Amino acid sequence: MKVRLLDIAHARSGDKGDTANVGVIALEPEWYPVLSTYLTLERVREHFRGVITGGVERYELPNLKALNFLLHGALDGGGTLSLKTDAQGKVFSTAMLRLVLDVPDAEATSLGLSAAGHWPADAEAPKA
Amino acid sequence: MTNSSKGRAIVRVASGQGFWGDWLEAPRRQVEGGDVDYLMLDYLAEVTMSILQKQKERDPNMGYARDFVGAIESVLPAIAKRGVRVIANAGGVNPPACAAAIRGVAAKHGVSGDVRIGVITGDDLLPRLDELIDGGHALANMETNEPLSTVRDRVLSANAYIGSVPIVEALQRNANIVITGRSTDTALTMAPLRYEFGWAADDWDRLAAGIIAGHIIECGAQCSGGNCLYDWQTIPDLANVGYPIVEAKSDGTFVVTKHPNTGGRVSIPSVTEQLVYEMGDPHSYITPDVVADFTSIQLAADGENRVRVFGIKGRPATDKLKVSIAYRAGFKAVGTLVYSWPDALPKAKLADRVLRERLRNLGLEFDAIVTEFVGVSATHGPLAGEAHDPPEVQLRFGVRGQNKASVERFTRELAPLVLNGPPSVTGFAGGRPKVEEIVAYWPALIDKRVVQTKVEVLS
């Protein structure tokens, strides 16, 4: 089953020089194994090919149900050097969430994943 | 349970500023919205020091975060009458001048007798740079490994990131406003906890807990509902967003929360997003005081807008300090034009080709030219996929180079396109792009023992 990362994870990104970091966090704790198994270094490297000029590092944080990726050569030099709109890598987070994972059907079904968008049903409505 | 030196079982540290330019209302709201013991204000980003250095060169009484003066003015009653203590890295490259400005504000409001200002210096390595390089400290760039000598003549500022020790000393000496220069953001939160609970210099787990508390609240509301992707549509009342507060215990556990009747949301997802922000290797978050392990952090819901943080592990600090160096690195300019439907993107692409050809024909040379099509691919590049005839596209065109005249000349080439380039163009009301000098960041390491901090308490 093709599963959009956007439907199973949220993310935040930031910068360190010319490197963008992207933390990817499972929307539901029980979905973390999907991230740790299928959101591999190779998968992320392939996703950002042509977008970044350097390598990728990957770290696991099972305690936070999160992975952390370092994308090197992502920011046209970074900081004040960069001519990019996103000089500080603030929205590499959502660029990451465009990634589509291949999850075996049985596993995806047992975890309640689908191609449809997920948003927690119990979320409270905003105050007026 | 062990209480703090002041008999407190719980110490509350409130974050009131996540960067220089953050919400001016936040500091006052933090001290008026409920009980807090410390107000922590973080003003310094990587390039802020160089901006401040330029200001100090023009006027020796400048070089600090001027917003801090207004912030202190807005919280003076809490400091003078309720015992709230303020810790801020607002001193920038001139903590004594910052302290003088704060004394002026206290005098103006007739509370000079209630204000004891702790001033921390010693992080500024600029005056010692040649001596350090001659002494064998290469200050090599942590990313490229080049020695600092390659850009020495262009260095604007050089500051060691200092830790909690001098802040703790200032608190012990009864300062109620502590002003640092390039202190780490996290030390501003960890230091008052270390002081209150008497944590030892080798109590690695608790020191690491204080650092992680600092990391969570150092970006202000970014952990309490601001810039939070998770469930963003349902986050209530951002207009009235509550900035975060750490409620810490002596055992190193703490709760992240915010004042009642404020907007935003403190939740496990909001705190987790902030924890991974600007993260490197999560096993080793290196600070001057301790190496914190982010893979040890445990989070638990603790009621509405409360997240409990526990289980944190730390390891001994290294024998190095990070140094933040800023140097002049050429010039840049960025300009924009907006092209409208129909065929907005092909029009913008043609304008880009025309502009590049004209710059080439002029013989101008740049280190980099970057074109972006805002509304189509500026932030996600090729990942964004095909654009389907958008109503408008902004052409954003930037150049960078060592020759100021070339960059200057580029800024004259954009406007003519309005009359002599592709059609349906608008959005040039802002005028010619501005040429900016680039002040770039040079991260380096230095032996801890060569950096001596000094604490002075003014009353």
**Residue B226 falls inside a structural domain:** yes
Pair (B208, B351) in one structural domain? no
Q: What share of chain A is helix, strand, coil (3-state, %, to 5)?
A: 25, 30, 45
**Contact assignment for A63 to B275 by CB distance below 8 Å:** no
List CB contacts (< 8 A) between A39 and chain B: none
Residue with tokens 């409130």: B14
pLDDT along chain B (459 residues), means of 10: 72 97 97 98 87 91 97 96 97 97 97 97 96 96 95 95 98 98 97 98 98 98 98 98 98 98 98 98 98 98 98 98 95 98 98 98 98 96 91 98 98 96 90 93 96 95
Pair (B341, B296) in one structural domain? no
Q: Is B295 on the interface with A (CB under 8 A)?
A: yes
Pair (B187, B308) in one structural domain? yes
| Predicted local distance difference test score (pLDDT) of residue B3 | 63
Q: How do strand B392-401 and strand B320-340 relate by DSSP bridges? A: antiparallel
- Dump pLDDT digits (tens) for A89-103: 999 999 999 999 999
Whether the predicted pLDDT of A116 surpasses 90: no
At residue B384, what is the residue type?
Answer: A
Instruction: Return the percentage of chain B with pLDDT > 90, whole number.
Output: 94
Domain boundaries along the sequence of chain A: 2-109
Task: Name the domain count of chain B.
Answer: 2
Q: Residue B76: what are its φ and ψ, rounded to 5°?
A: -55, -45
**Residue B131 falls inside a structural domain:** no
**Contact at 8 Å (CB) between B369 and B353?**
no
| Predicted local distance difference test score (pLDDT) of residue B348 | 98
Pair (B303, B187) in one structural domain? yes
Domain span at residue B429 reads 325-440
Pair (B288, B335) in one structural domain? no
Alpha-carbon gap: B448 to the closest alpha carbon of chain A (Å): 22
- With a cut of 0.90, is the ipTM above it? yes
Pair (B57, B196) in one structural domain? yes
| Predicted local distance difference test score (pLDDT) of residue A126 | 42
**Contact assignment for B276 to A66 by CB distance below 8 Å:** yes
Pair (B383, B287) in one structural domain? no
From first CA to last CA, the distance across chain B in angstroms is 34
Q: What is the CA radius of gyration of chain B?
A: 25
Alpha-carbon gap: B239 to the closest alpha carbon of chain A (Å): 11
DSSP letter string, B107-136: HHTT-GGG--EEEEE--B-GGGHHHHHHTT
Exposure pattern of A68-84 as b/e (b: 16+ CB <10 Å)? bbbbbbbbbbbbbbbbb
Last residue of a domain, one of B318, B345, B374: B318
**Contact assignment for B234 to A91 by CB distance below 8 Å:** no
Q: Is A73 on the interface with B (CB under 8 A)?
A: no
Pair (B174, B243) in one structural domain? yes
CA neighbours closer than 13 Å in the CB half-sphere of residue A38: 21
**Residue B430 falls inside a structural domain:** yes
Pair (B314, B356) in one structural domain? no
Pair (B332, B215) in one structural domain? no
Last residue of a domain, one of B269, B298, B318: B318
Cα–Cα nearest to B380, from A70, A125, A20? A20
Q: How many residues does chain B have?
A: 459
Whether the predicted pLDDT of A117 surpasses 80: no
List CB contacts (< 8 A) between B374 and chain A: 85
Beta bridge partners of B187: none
Nearest chain A residue to B378, by CA: A85
List CB contacts (< 8 A) between A68 and chain B: 276, 279, 282
Pair (B248, B285) in one structural domain? yes
